[in-house]
């Protein structure tokens, strides 16, 4: 059976054991015939692409000139997944769990009197996917936050959007909050409304987010990188995690220059 015949069959006009009067592609008329032809053409192109990829074997994909911090985290945790996403991008809606996390972030902004507009594509909590409890309630998060070390502190900035150069790529993101320490240093904090990721690899990948934030604030504030620290605060467990081995600028550059491989 030819590809065209297969397309006709899929359209409902091909051979069917229960229908002795099935029409062939040549008998199709109007829009039905055009649809079958389009399916045949798409099928042919997909088969050619698959065959080409088989002959080429493993390929490499170049990172785009503009990246998000989320892309860096994916690059660190699953470079092949990022490569496939770059090669064949598919629009993705913000996750419901990330949307739910915005309630807590909005409350924090109101608490500190620093309400700002948030781009839907940069919803706070976007890195919580897979870790956030579906039944988390805002009241519980508020209560837990008030028990934390951060309840008595005042940030100098909240919801800080940024674009910064790392290697030859423009990296875009948004920091939840920046605090100044008594010794004049800075600490960037990212609020997490879900559970702490398990496993050394997961924590290492997540820490790329903090490394990017730390470097971005260093650039924005015009201060040396060692004068900036970064932490995750897991609100529900009232746990602040300050990774000791965050990547510096050289490490982030090396990450970006490690071109992902498609298997």
Q: So what's the pLDDT on residue 43?
A: 83
CB burial of 70-96 (b: ≥16 within 10 Å; e: otherwise) equals bbbbbbbbebeebbbbbeeeeeeeebe
Does the structure show a pLDDT above 50 at 14? no
Of the ranges 29-38, 161-170, 240-249, 252-261, which one carries the lowest mean pLDDT score?
29-38
Which residues, in sequence order, are CB contacts of 30 under 8 Å at separation 6+? none
Domains in the chain with CATH codes: 3-57 (no CATH), 66-262 (3.90.320)
If one compares 116 and 107, the residue with the highest pLDDT of the two is 107
Residue range 21-62, pLDDT digits in tens: 445 555 555 556 677 777 788 788 777 766 665 555 455 677
The burial class, CB within 10 Å (0-12 / 13-18 / 19+), for 142 is middle
Residue range 146-163, pLDDT digits in tens: 999 999 999 999 999 999
Q: So what's the pLDDT on residue 82?
A: 82
Q: So what's the pLDDT on residue 263?
A: 46
Residue range 69-104, pLDDT digits in tens: 988 998 888 888 887 777 776 666 555 445 556 788
If one compares 79 and 166, the residue with the highest pLDDT of the two is 166
HSE-CB at 234 with a 13 A cutoff on CA atoms is 15
Q: Span 189-207, mean pLDDT?
A: 86
Distance between CA atoms of residues 42 and 46, nearest Å:
6
Q: Span 154-181, mean pLDDT?
A: 93
Share above pLDDT 90 across residues of the chain, in percent, rounded to a whole number: 37
Whether 23 contacts 9, CB under 8 Å = no
Residue range 207-230, pLDDT digits in tens: 999 999 999 999 999 999 999 999
pTM > 0.85: yes or no: no
């Amino acid at each position: 059976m030819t590809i065209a015949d297969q397309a006709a069959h899929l359209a409902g006009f091909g051979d069917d054991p229960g229908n002795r009067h099935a029409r062939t592609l040549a008998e199709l008329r109007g829009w039905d015939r055009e649809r079958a032809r389009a399916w045949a053409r798409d099928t042919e192109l997909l088969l050619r692409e698959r065959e080409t990829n088989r002959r080429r074997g493993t390929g490499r994909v170049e990172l785009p000139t503009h990246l998000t911090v989320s892309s860096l985290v994916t690059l660190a945790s699953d470079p092949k997944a990022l490569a496939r996403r770059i090669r064949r991008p598919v629009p993705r809606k913000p996750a419901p769990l990330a949307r739910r996390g915005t309630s807590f972030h909005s409350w924090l902004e109101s608490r500190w009197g620093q309400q700002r507009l948030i781009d839907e594509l940069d919803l706070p909590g976007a890195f919580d996917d897979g870790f956030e409890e579906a039944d988390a309630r805002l009241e519980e998060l508020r209560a837990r936050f008030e028990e934390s070390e951060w309840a008595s502190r005042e940030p100098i900035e909240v919801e800080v959007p940024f674009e910064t150069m790392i290697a030859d790529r423009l990296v875009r993101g948004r920091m939840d909050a920046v605090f100044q320490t008594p010794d004049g240093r800075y600490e960037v904090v990212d609020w997490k409304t879900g559970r702490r990721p398990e496993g050394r690899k997961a924590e290492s990948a997540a820490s790329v987010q903090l490394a990017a934030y730390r470097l971005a604030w260093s650039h924005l504030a015009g201060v040396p990188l060692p004068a900036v620290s970064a932490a995750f605060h897991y609100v529900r467990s009232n746990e602040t995690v300050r990774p000791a081995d965050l990547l510096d600028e050289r490490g982030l550059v090396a990450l970006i220059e490690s071109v992902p491989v498609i298997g």
